[in-house]
Structure 1
């Protein structure tokens, strides 16, 4: 029995840029889930397994733990911005924000970035992300809304709600977030991720 030489064997196509984009999206979604379940200290191998890719693929997209966390936070903010662009209703945008608060503990600390201290230890990217969330929400605040009384009221309310987002499961955290919004007198739409 003769076998063809190894040089003639063909590897399956890698899928090119489309596969790379799918892998990156799968890694970000997996990281969000793994971080929600196990915190930011979760092993990167767990993220790769959840995404259905090897660790080499993870490291091709994200060289370290910080890069993975930053990508998740960036995706969270991007979804909130997209929701704000496609919805004129503040309640719907707050539903997307609330989903991210309930899903991603790391996201909460970003929203508390205000950079007011001269010796702030808040990374600049966290401050930038927080400001982007504020802009996305503010564009839908009608005049006279309870969150417009003072310039800082909007992000103080977001901070108060995020402080209530504790608990062992996403569902429990979501219930607490909705209760906090209700106590602030703010209507929130369906709590779900933004779907393009």
Structure 2
């Protein structure tokens, strides 16, 4: 039996490395959004759908759930480091960027609470390294004489605010985080992501 001829349909051109970089960035943004709404156990299929890619593309970039969560955390920390490196950002502005990440990312909240854990797994070691990077970025821009200048006060305050920022709704997380900063007597700029 002869197969009917199918119309000559061309597959879209492969975007190459540019498409791969775009897809990876879209997956990280989608993961941050899905994690904020559904937590770290959200289905990976929902993340792929939100990013507008297939699950195969997701797994090509992130072989497992941990790799994707780590990429989201890396992006959060990178944005805080970039904000701290920007000359036109005040310390209050940098705290606004940090607070935005606390509002948007359940994974980031967890990262800032891992210091007290006694488990020394590879994931914990990586999380502690990320937490150290956040502290270094903040401490480099901490004004002399700031109320959070004592040895452990800075990250203790961040942990306290991140603890207050838990919960399922973004707006409530932001309100609670800002109330916690206010109770600590710390000025915070506009809560927003950092755009380089």
TM-score (norm 2): 0.91
Other-structure match for 1:75: 75
Structure 1 residues not aligned, in runs of 5+: none
**1:168 CA displacement:** 2.9
Contact persistence 2:93–2:188 (CA under 8 A):
yes
**Equivalent-residue separation in structure 2 for 1:107 and 1:127 (angstroms):** 12
Write the deviation string for residues 104-131 of structure 1: whole angstroms up to 9, x where unpaired.
Answer: 11111211233685x5457111000000
Other-structure match for 2:144: 143
Other-structure match for 1:175: 175
Contact persistence 1:112–1:130 (CA under 8 A):
no
Other-structure match for 1:32: 32
Q: How many residues align?
A: 191
Other-structure match for 1:127: 128
Contact persistence 1:181–1:187 (CA under 8 A):
yes
**What secondary structure is seen at the aligned counterpart in 1 of 2:148?**
helix
Aligned pairs (5 A) from 1:3-152? 10-86=10-86, 87-114=88-115, 120=120, 123-148=124-149, 150-152=150-152
Structure 2 residues not aligned, in runs of 5+: none
Q: Which runs of 4+ in 1 moved over 3 A?
A: 2-6, 119-122
Contact persistence 2:109–2:166 (CA under 8 A):
no
**Equivalent-residue separation in structure 2 for 1:75 and 1:53 (angstroms):** 20
**1:24 CA displacement:** 0.4
> Which shifted more, 163-172 or 14-23?
163-172
Write the deviation string for residues 56-83 of structure 1: whole angstroms up to 9, x where unpaired.
Answer: 1000000000001000000000000011
**1:96 CA displacement:** 0.5
Contact persistence 2:36–2:168 (CA under 8 A):
no
**What secondary structure is seen at the aligned counterpart in 2 of 1:190?**
coil
**1:12 CA displacement:** 2.1
**1:140 CA displacement:** 1.0
Larger relative contact order (C-alpha < 8 A, sep ≥ 6)? 2
Cα gap change, 1:138/1:26 in structure 2, threshold over 3 Å: closer, same or farther? same
